[in-house]
Amino acid sequence: MTGKSHGNAEFQQAIKRHIPVGHVFKAVPFLFNHRDAKKMAVSLFGSVREKSDKKHSKTKTAPSSSRLAPPAAIDLIRSRGDSVRFAVRVRVFPYPEDVCATWILLAVKYRDVT
C-alpha cells in the first residue's frame, strides 16, 4: 500500500475536462454491504417516520432525527448556485455466498455565486 489511489491523476483530469471554469464539483462515495435501496436511502438521507392521523391512515412526515444523514451527503444536497446538476452512480460487485459491495457516488456540479 502506497497511500495513493490508483488512477487518481486520470480521474482528476477527466473532471477538469468536463467541469467549466468557475464551476464547483463535489462528489462523495458511500459503501454498503447489501443491495436494499430503501436501507441505502435511509442511510444517506435520514429515515422517514410514519404517523397516524385522525382517520388512522398512515402519512409520511419529515425525516426523523433518530437517523441522521452523513454530513457529507447533507453538504452535497444543500449545494446552492447557478446551473446546479446532481448525479448518482451505482456499482454493485457481487461475491460468493450472497455477499456484495455496493458503491454509490453522489455528485454535484454548480456555478458558485458567492
What phi and psi, each to the nearest 5 degrees, are found at residue 66?
-70, -20
Residue 51 has pLDDT above 50, yes or no: no
Amino acid (one-letter) located at 50: E
pLDDT in tens, 69-110: 788 888 898 999 999 999 999 999 999 999 999 999 999 999
Q: How far apart are CA 47 and CA 38, in angstroms?
A: 9
Give the H or E element holding residue 27: strand 23-32
pLDDT of residue 61: 43
Reported confidence tier of residue 59, pLDDT bands at 50, 70, 90: very low
Average of per-residue pLDDT across 45-56: 54
How many Cβ atoms are within 10 Å of 31's Cβ, its own excluded?
A: 8
Reported confidence tier of residue 114, pLDDT bands at 50, 70, 90: confident
Q: How far apart are CA 27 and CA 87, in angstroms?
A: 9
pTM for the predicted model, two decimal places: 0.70
